[in-house]
Amino acid sequence: MMLTPQCRELLRGPNFAVITTINADGTPQQSVVWVAEHDGNVVFSTVEGRAKHRNLVRDPRIGVLVLDHTDGYRYSQIRGIARLDSTNADALIDELSRKYTGDAWVEKQTRPRVNVIVTPTHQHDYSE
């Protein structure tokens, strides 16, 4: 499915997203992440072994809520299926760091990073 213009705009700006994955017991797990849009997909970076990573390995269903940093009542909701890929994982976190902080990613990781690529299956925009 194609993302709407508002959703693409929010994903391309320095707007935080809340992602929701499903814990093993069926309860939701939420995290705030840096996001981007690549080829019509939502992308973000995580570290192998974190709760969101473990949850997505087991169940790839995911929700993404990206909020306009200038107007919290303007946001896009995306539901989709996540795919994990470690290819160019350092490049993605560096891209996101520059987008959100203006600086290169310099934090040293003790565990490998992984890219999360979300293929949207449902998307809806909200604004007031």
Residue 110 has pLDDT above 90, yes or no: no
pLDDT tens for 4-30 read: 999 999 999 999 999 999 999 999 999
Q: Hey, where are the domains in the chain?
A: 5-126
How far CA 2 is from CA of 68, 70, 83, 126, in Å, comes to: 20, 24, 18, 16
d(C-alpha 36, C-alpha 46), whole Å: 13
Residues in the chain: 128
Give the right CATH number for 5-126 from 2.30.110.10, 3.40.50.80, 1.10.3720.10, 3.90.550.10. Answer: 2.30.110.10
pLDDT tens per residue, range 67-88: 999 999 999 999 999 999 999 9
Supply the pTM of this predicted model: 0.94
d(CA 19, CA 55): 12
**Is it the case that residue 109 has pLDDT exceeding 90?**
no
Please tell me the predicted confidence (pLDDT) of residue 111.
83
Q: How far is CA 30 from the centre of its chain?
A: 11
**Is residue 33 pLDDT above 90, yes or no?**
yes
Region 16-45: what's the mean pLDDT? 98
Q: What's the gap between Cα 43 and its chain centre?
A: 5
- Name the average pLDDT for the chain: 95
